[in-house]
Amino acid sequence: MEEKREIINRYRRLLRKSKPVLKGNDAKLIKRAFTLALEAHKDMRRKSGEPFIFHPLSVAEICVEEIGLGTTAIIAALIHDVVEDTDIELADIERMFGKKIAKIVDGLTKVSGVFEYGTSQQAENFRKMLFTLSEDVRVILIKLADRLHNMRTLESMPRNKQLKIASETIYLYAPLAHRLGLNAIKTELEDLYLRFTDGAVYNEINNKIDESKATRNKFIKQFVAPIKEELDRLKVDYEIKGRPKSIFSIYNKMRKQNIPYEEVYDLFAIRIIIDSPLEQEKSFCWQVYSIVTDYYTPNPDRLRDWISTPKANGYESLHTTVMAKNGHWVEVQIRTKRMDEIAEKGYAAHWKYKDSISNQESNLEKWLVRVRETLEKQDTTALEFVDDFRGNLFTEEVFVFTPRGELKTLPAGATALDFAFDIHTDIGAKCIGAKVNQKLVPINHALKNGDQIEILTSSKQKPNDDWLRFVVTQKAKAKIKDLLKEAKRKLADEGKEVLQRKMKQLKIDSTNQVFEAMRTFFNVNSQLDLHYAVATGRIGLSELKRFKEYKPESPRPKVEEIRREGEPHARKPHEDILLIGEDMDVVEYKLAKCCTPIPGDEVFGFVTMNEGIKIHRTNCTNAPELLSNHGHRVIKAKWTSQHEVAFLTGLKVVGTDRVGLINDVSKIISEELKVNMSSIAFRSNQGIFDGEIMLYVNDTRHLDLLIKKLEKVEGVVKVSRFDSATMSRPQ
Ligand code: MN
């Protein structure tokens, strides 16, 4: 059969690619795993209609080829879905392949069962996966390969699944790949995310990159010609590549700076990869730097030396930005073959060079230790954990020094307080300030590269809630939370005694029922909170008297109940314009304020705790978090044909100032197009003006028409849509 032959072909291709890593009877074991998976999945098909076995085969191939893993990973990848989807149990796996592989497969198998309220199953899965990571980092690497293949084949999934999987990917997996230094995979995951959440933009950028290819190549050829000549004279092997930026990173630039594709100036970088003996890597790279800057003037602010101090994810490279002959800045990346392989393949490539390099390795090891520490903390919920964990993945970092000149690497944005906690919990807990480069600074002072820090402490210092806002490292956050809890417990103990004394005084019985009634009356969650409230004085003698007089028969409002009726109601759009849920019902909803959707936008519904269904754009900045952590609360939503209903949206207008321009702009809006404006604000500065207009439109077509018209106004340079406010929390 055709299909059988294709399966065998793919299996052979995997063997061929794994050949360099095979030892002893590895091939036999791989065959055993393949046979097991083939049999176990024999009746299963993927959503695309393909035989299921294609999936584990592809995952195994990614492990070998794109991550550089060996036999253990290949076997685990081949059988990674077996336990979850078939009758085969972990014990069988252990019998056939041993403990190590069984452990990895267990880590790759999703957790099932009941979850506490408010946690996402996905977060729970993720946490479990990381548990196994502490024993074997391959679990994560195989999981990333699994995710990559699922993203590559996302096309055949239903739309809501696409959104959920893509969002999880951008929220957790891409940052994780970045943290493990798997740059190629990180980039592909990000691009695929964009392709499935905002296909139009993805295609637009992709096409533009294609169109400019010929010009780009010509430019690169001219740019590198003199450099090539010099390198040839040096008699080293080298390779020069012109690398276009990823679609996702271009998109990010456009979005962040609110500029069109044409105005993104660093659309590509030149990469020079040289072959160098290990001992001479650094001097070779600087030699190349010197050649490049002999021909082109470097921008002194943009020199990055990640060879002397590699990034925490192991990245090593020398970057400079130089002025080309055509007046454009060009980034040049200089690195050795070894550095390049590590930059693309990350963690696994490190192992290959383990004997030769120890420094970067230990950075990753340190990170793993930190992950382990967090995992061992029992009292965080899965969601909290994922949040914290994510916070730790974004690792632009600062390099700072202790008074003795010891180098410390902290995440960018880290403060003096982070530094204090990094040194020791006790020092953090007693920190009252610091001396940075001999100058006195407060504890929330953000550190910069090269700072030398001396922490000042006082035995009288105590952490407070504000401190949580002063730190960015997970370690400091966790310690502060611990300290605050401990302090609260201590205070509550004192409160308990006070309460008992006062109750005696007022002749209130101390039975369980009374305490229950008190908790309701004072609106506190637990006994601990009750005692704490007494200790802090929120509940005193007069409050207790009121409690005593309170008769449960005559219901009274709770002490702390907050009435919310005065809240302004969101303007309710026409009811039959949006269809929601699987049956595409017409239900009540509100439009999210963070991304202000209008008809024509791709949207989804999100069931909020107290405010019903909210509609967000699929490219809303809050979408990844909502979709990946609260997938079960997401529902499908789709616009039907447009009605004469108006939606609030924002336009940004930039141009050169002239008399009467604002008048012309508002005339077009209100007279010609009969659009209602809700607000208009213009700033003018040295001949340049920029304005923000909030107005009501019917749909995206209407908006596009308006933008086109406004762009024709004399003096207007650019008109673009913006989301009403850049808020960090979903609204
Ligand atoms: Mn899978």
Q: What's the CATH code of the domain at 390?
A: 3.10.20.30
Closest to 302 in 3D by CA, of 276, 270, 332: 332
- Mention every residue, 6+ apart, whose C-beta is less than 8 A from residue 657: 684, 687, 688, 689, 715
Tens-digit pLDDT profile for residues 263-322: 887 788 999 999 999 889 999 999 999 999 999 999 888 899 989 888 777 789 999 999
Check whether residue 258 and residue 382 sit in a common domain. no
Check whether residue 285 and residue 230 sit in a common domain. yes
What is the pLDDT, as a whole number, of residue 78? 95
Nearest-5° Cα angle at 200, 197 to 202 = 70
What is the pLDDT, as a whole number, of residue 371? 63
Tens-digit pLDDT profile for residues 680-700: 787 877 777 788 888 888 778
Closest to 129 in 3D by CA, of 84, 64, 96: 84
Over 90: is that where the pLDDT of 14 sits?
yes
Tens-digit pLDDT profile for residues 306-338: 898 887 777 899 999 999 888 888 999 999 998
* Residue 190 appears among annotated catalytic residues: no
Check whether residue 163 and residue 251 sit in a common domain. no
Give the 3-state secondary structure of residue 438.
coil
* Per-residue confidence band for 116, with pLDDT thresholds at 50, 70 and 90: very low
* Per-residue confidence band for 445, with pLDDT thresholds at 50, 70 and 90: very high
Over 80: is that where the pLDDT of 534 sits?
yes
Q: What is the DSSP letter of 16?
A: H
Residue that is last in its domain, among 416, 451, 473: 473
Residue that is last in its domain, among 148, 166, 200: 200
Averaged pLDDT, 155-177: 86
Q: How far apart are CA 408 and CA 421, in angstroms?
A: 12
Q: How far apart are CA 130 and CA 144, in angstroms?
A: 12
What is the pLDDT, as a whole number, of residue 380? 57
Element (H, E) at 20: none
Q: Backbone phi, then psi, for 627, in 5-degree steps?
A: -70, -35
Instruction: Using the mean position of ligand 1's atoms as its centre, give its distance from the Cα of residue 191 in Å.
Output: 20
Tens-digit pLDDT profile for residues 653-675: 888 877 777 788 878 877 777 77
Instruction: Using the mean position of ligand 1's atoms as its centre, give its distance from the Cα of residue 82 in Å.
Output: 9
* Per-residue confidence band for 730, with pLDDT thresholds at 50, 70 and 90: very low
Residue 452 lies in a domain: yes
In Å, how far are 213, 487, 550, 727 from 531, measured between CA atoms?
Answer: 69, 13, 20, 37
Instruction: Using the mean position of ligand 1's atoms as its centre, give its distance from the Cα of residue 68 in Å.
Output: 19
Instruction: Using the mean position of ligand 1's atoms as its centre, give its distance from the Cα of residue 84 in Å.
Output: 9
Averaged pLDDT, 107-129: 59
Q: How many domains does the chain have?
A: 6
Residue 553 lies in a domain: no
Residue that is last in its domain, among 167, 200, 233: 200
Averaged pLDDT, 237-259: 89
Residue 552 lies in a domain: no
Nearest-5° Cα angle at 313, 191 to 131 = 90
Q: How far apart are CA 389 and CA 34, in angstroms?
A: 34
Instruction: Say what percent of the chain tops pLDDT 70.
Output: 82
Domain membership of residue 660 as a residue range: 647-726
Instruction: Using the mean position of ligand 1's atoms as its centre, give its distance from the Cα of residue 558 in Å.
Output: 51
Check whether residue 146 and residue 20 sit in a common domain. yes
Q: What's the CATH code of the domain at 656?
A: 3.30.70.260
Check whether residue 151 and residue 18 sit in a common domain. yes
- Between 516 and 295, name the one with better pLDDT: 295
154, 148 in Cβ contact below 8 A?
no
Closest to 418 in 3D by CA, of 382, 386, 392: 392
Check whether residue 191 and residue 116 sit in a common domain. yes
Over 60: is that where the pLDDT of 420 sits?
yes
Q: What is the DSSP letter of 354?
A: T
Instruction: Using the mean position of ligand 1's atoms as its centre, give its distance from the Cα of residue 56 in Å.
Output: 7
Check whether residue 29 and residue 65 sit in a common domain. yes
List the beta strands (DSSP E) in 528-640: 578-580, 589-591, 603-607, 613-617, 634-639
Check whether residue 348 and residue 219 sit in a common domain. yes
Token pair of 399, please? 């390099």
Averaged pLDDT, 520-529: 83
Q: How far apart are CA 252 and CA 163, in angstroms?
A: 19
Over 50: is that where the pLDDT of 241 sits?
yes
Averaged pLDDT, 172-177: 84
Instruction: Using the mean position of ligand 1's atoms as its centre, give its distance from the Cα of residue 604 in Å.
Output: 26
In Å, how far are 63, 413, 538, 621, 722 from 497, measured between CA atoms?
Answer: 61, 43, 15, 49, 57
What is the pLDDT, as a whole number, of residue 77? 94
Residue 731 lies in a domain: no
Tens-digit pLDDT profile for residues 207-216: 999 998 898 8
- Between 634 and 13, name the one with better pLDDT: 13
What is the pLDDT, as a whole number, of residue 189? 96
User: CA 679 from chain center: how many Å?
Assistant: 34
Over 80: is that where the pLDDT of 92 sits?
yes
Q: Contacts by 358-362 with C-beta closer than 8 Å and gap 24+? A: 359/310, 360/310, 360/314, 360/316, 361/314
Element (H, E) at 581: none
What is the pLDDT, as a whole number, of residue 257? 84
Q: How far apart are CA 504 and CA 601, in angstroms?
A: 64
- Ranking 175-189, 361-375, 513-527 by mean pLDDT, the lowest is 361-375
What is the pLDDT, as a whole number, of residue 96? 92
* Per-residue confidence band for 395, with pLDDT thresholds at 50, 70 and 90: low
In Å, how far are 178, 234, 292, 429 from 271, measured between CA atoms?
Answer: 19, 18, 12, 46
What is the pLDDT, as a whole number, of residue 507? 85
* Residue 85 appears among annotated catalytic residues: yes
Q: What is the DSSP letter of 394?
A: -
Over 70: is that where the pLDDT of 121 sits?
no
The DSSP string of 258-295 is: T--GGG-S-SEEEEEEE---GGGHHHHHHHHHHHHHHH
Nearest-5° Cα angle at 603, 598 to 609 = 105
Q: What's the CATH code of the domain at 12?
A: 1.10.3210.10
Check whether residue 192 and residue 209 sit in a common domain. no
pTM, 2 dp: 0.64
Catalytic residue among 85, 155, 588, 672: 85
* Per-residue confidence band for 129, with pLDDT thresholds at 50, 70 and 90: low
Token pair of 641, please? 């044909």
Check whether residue 12 and residue 74 sit in a common domain. yes
Check whether residue 654 and residue 533 sit in a common domain. no
In Å, how far are 133, 139, 242 from 264, measured between CA atoms?
Answer: 39, 38, 16
Instruction: Using the mean position of ligand 1's atoms as its centre, give its distance from the Cα of residue 576 in Å.
Output: 40
Catalytic residue among 39, 84, 486, 516: 84
What is the pLDDT, as a whole number, of residue 552? 53
Check whether residue 524 and residue 657 sit in a common domain. no
